[in-house]
A = this chain, B = another copy of it.
Amino acid sequence: MAIREQLIEYREGSTVLEGFFCHDDGRAAPLPAVLISHTWSGRDAFVEDKARRLAWHGFAAFALDMFGKGKRGNTTEECTALITPFMKDRALLARRITAALTAVRGLSQVDARRVAAMGYCFGGLCVLDLARSGADVRGVASVHGLLKPSGLPATRIRSKVLMLHGYDDPMAPPEDVLAVAKEMSAGGADWQLHAYGNTVHAFTNPHATDRSSGMAYDAAADRRSWQSLLQFLDEVLR
């Protein structure tokens, strides 16, 4: 068993993107694959760590890139600037994440029929939009994701959907939960939402420490959401 890591360039239109791909090359390929969609900071160590964990678990994991090769945000201002074009143009967002799906399907180590996607915060929104686009992926999982509907024309949702949600997340208040539940049901999705009480945004991020700003790590929610995520991925990909 050896985890192999690679950077992989791919494109959406004229934009060059760079994903982080890893898998256990001791396992017989092709492997079921999981796309991992990053937060507003860009494709960083946080999602690369998740990719390694999924590789140990037996999946091919691809930490995708929404922003462009090497683009990362370090301050709130930089991060806001990076996500703004996508928040304003959800069709662009959908094209960009679909490019990652196409890229991962083209890899020889990947079983193109068994692909799922997960994402954190802004990345949670991205994978929900992938499902909303009607993409043929087995499942999508949003972890403390933004839940706001895209406003794009409704499509039949073919992916199973799991939303792992801090109930006191100021970026996804109860009215957004009610709205997304309605939207997912109307789209015919097989959906689940796990809400964690007394839990705010960014509960899987150990560097989030400011509960008053609505962003704080929570060890129990981190552990429970990871368990639920693996269970979901095993259900949809094995």
Contacts and interface: CB of A to CB of B under 8 A. Distances in A.
Contact of A184 (B181, B192, B197): B197
Interface of A, secondary structure class, is mixed
Interface string A155-173: 0000001000001100000
A190 interface: yes
B192 A196 contact: yes
A42 B97 CA distance: 51
A224 B185 contact: no
- Identical chains bound together, number: 2
A167 B190 contact: no
Contacts of A189: 197-198
Given A195-B195, A228-B228, A231-B227, A220 B181 contact: no
Contact of A167 (B167, B168, B185, B188): B185
| Interface core residue of A178, A197, A231 (most chain B CB under 10 Å) | A197
Interface string A213-238: 00000001000100110010001000
A64 B73 CA distance: 56
A191 interface: yes
Contacts of A181: 167, 174, 195, 197
A195 B178 CA distance: 11
7 contacts: A168-B185, A174-B181, A184-B197, A190-B197, A191-B196, A193-B197, A195-B195
Given A185-B197, A192-B194, A192-B197, 5 more contacts: A161-B197, A167-B185, A184-B197, A192-B224, A193-B194
